[in-house]
Amino acid sequence: MTYDELLYRGRLKVFQDYDTGRYTVSDICKRYGYSRTWFYKFKERRERLGNEGLRPMIRKLVTHNFSCGSVTKQLNLTILMVFKVSSYINKILLVFNFHLNFNIVDFKN
């Protein structure tokens, strides 16, 4: 049995005891060693998703938004500069190739 399955079965047991109505939330939390915050978080998930809400969920990757506007603006300016420089270099290469193909360039000097 996997760790996730053990966790699920433990959580299911907590709510099965709660569903009997014999125990208060405080009693259940003391009995199983959970906080009331934990209990109500999983109670809400269970109401929303059914018993499947008690299964461990994959956490989303947290990304940080460091002043996105300025970073995006700087990135756009950098990309624009690269395109301008590469465009300029391509024009130089194009002219050079044109001159080379028609023997206009004199390498002797």
Q: Per-residue pLDDT for the chain (109 aa), expressed as one digit of tens each?
A: 788 889 899 999 999 999 999 999 999 999 999 999 999 999 999 999 999 999 988 765 555 555 555 666 666 667 666 666 666 666 665 555 555 555 554 555 4
> What pTM did the predictor assign?
0.52
Q: Cβ neighbours of residue 53 under 8 Å, at least 6 residues apart?
A: 42, 45, 46, 47
- The pLDDT value recorded for residue 12 is 94
Helices 3-20 and 25-32, axial angle in degrees (round to 10): 150
